[in-house]
Amino acid sequence: MEFKEVIGLRRSIRWFKPWQPVEREKIQVMLEAANRSSRSMNADYCKAVVVNRDDLDQETRDALRNPTTTVDLDLAPTYIFWFTDMDYEVGTQDRLKELVQHKVLPPSHGWSEAYVDEVVWGQVIEPMSKVFAIKQWMGSIESGICICNALNAAVDEGLGACLHAMGNPAVVKEVLKVPDSWFPAWLMLVGYPLEDREAGGQRPRRPLDTNFFEGTCETPFVPDPEVTERLRREGMIQEAGPFPWRADEVRMLSRMFGLPE
Ligand SMILES: Cc1cc2nc3c(=O)[nH]c(=O)nc-3n(C[C@H](O)[C@H](O)[C@H](O)COP(=O)(O)O)c2cc1C
């Protein structure tokens, strides 16, 4: 699938074929996409644990339920638990030096191994890494970038996915044997969509100039209609939901599982 179409077609999927497992190969593609995502200092902040729904006992699955994550847990065959390792700076000094050796961080831009030790590490990163709020801020963004790549890879592989609040982190920690330094990020539910992959149409979003600006925050970034039109042709901007038959789709799906309509 073309890149723009992947972006355009991604939806938070909440109806999965509960009977169809996800091939391990496709999960590997998602994890590889996450592993290829950009990351500061080439550090490994983001961690994930892949679990088959049916390998979790009922008690654990029930513990994951929360106000925003309910029947989704019964429908999705694969759960990916995403975390941020708050001890990510371990070994990071060496990773920066590796980037210097590979000429990714070149001398022309001031980089050398001594510069990493004395300036970048000594004066910037080490002091920052002592402040929990800064670590949390950095790590959350890094994990978000990884998770985003994995979401888009899922779409490209013909899968559906949705992020969810990770209910009951204490149970998750115990069952998955999560190290103390891993901070819960999100639970990603993955499977083959049972709802149409367009899931009733593209979600309502505010126009570009509501959120993005040019020059200063007082000048909205006004989109060029020709570019907007090109993005429609290339699939990034798709027909907005709800499709006329969306209510029927949801009603029929609910009926299929005996859920409230
Ligand atoms: C970080 C994050 C957390 C989310 N948590 C939940 C959740 O707990 N339950 C849920 O049903 N959807 C959750 N969602 C899905 C959003 O509600 C979804 O993005 C929204 O429906 C917009 O639709 P779209 O993702 O299809 O564009 C989450 C999405 C993100 C990005």
Q: In which order are the strands placed within the sheet that holds 182-191?
A: 46-52, 78-85, 182-191, 160-164
Neighbour-count burial of 139, counting CB atoms closer than 10 A to its CB (0-12 exposed, 13-18 middle, 19+ buried): buried
Task: Please tell me if the CB atom of residue 165 comes closer than 6 angstroms to any atom of ligand 1.
Answer: yes
Instruction: Tell how far the Cα of 124 is from the centroid of ligand 1, in angstroms.
Output: 35
Q: Which atom of ligand 1 is nearest to the CA of 14?
A: 11
Mutate to test the pocket of ligand 1, among 163, 188, 198, 239 (most ligand atoms within 8 A of CB): 163
- List, in sequence order, the alpha helices (H) in the chain: 3-9, 24-35, 58-63, 72-75, 92-101, 113-115, 126-129, 132-156, 169-176, 208-211, 225-234, 246-256
**CATH code of the domain made up of 3-194:** 3.40.109.10
- Residue with CA nearest ligand 1 atom 19: 12
- Token reading at 81: 């638990």
Instruction: Tell how far the Cα of 10 is from the centroid of ligand 1, in angstroms.
Output: 12
Task: Please tell me if the CB atom of residue 13 comes closer than 6 angstroms to any atom of ligand 1.
Answer: no
d(CA 153, CA 48): 15
Q: Please, what is the angle between helix 132-156 and helix 24-35, to 10°?
A: 140
Instruction: Tell how far the Cα of 32 is from the centroid of ligand 1, in angstroms.
Output: 22
* Domain boundaries of the chain, sorted by first residue: 3-194
Task: Please tell me if the CB atom of residue 146 comes closer than 6 angstroms to any atom of ligand 1.
Answer: no
Neighbour-count burial of 75, counting CB atoms closer than 10 A to its CB (0-12 exposed, 13-18 middle, 19+ buried): buried
**pLDDT in single tens digits along all 261 residues of the chain:** 999 999 999 999 999 999 999 999 999 999 999 999 999 999 999 999 999 999 999 999 999 999 999 999 999 999 999 999 998 877 888 999 999 999 999 999 999 999 999 999 999 999 988 899 999 999 999 999 999 999 999 999 999 999 999 989 999 999 999 999 999 999 999 999 999 999 999 999 999 999 999 999 999 999 999 999 999 999 999 999 999 999 999 999 999 999 999
Nearest to 160 by CA among 72, 243, 229: 72
Task: Please tell me if the CB atom of residue 64 comes closer than 6 angstroms to any atom of ligand 1.
Answer: no
3-state secondary structure of 85: strand
Report the DSSP beta bridge partners of residue 134: none
Q: Spell out the residues 6+ positions from residue 192 whose beta carbon is closer than 8 angstroms to its own.
A: 16, 17, 20, 22, 158, 159, 160
- Token reading at 237: 């901007």
Tell me phi and psi for residue 111, to 5 degrees.
-85, 140
Full-model pTM: 0.97
Task: Please tell me if the CB atom of residue 11 comes closer than 6 angstroms to any atom of ligand 1.
Answer: yes
Instruction: Tell how far the Cα of 198 is from the centroid of ligand 1, in angstroms.
Output: 15
d(CA 242, CA 234): 21
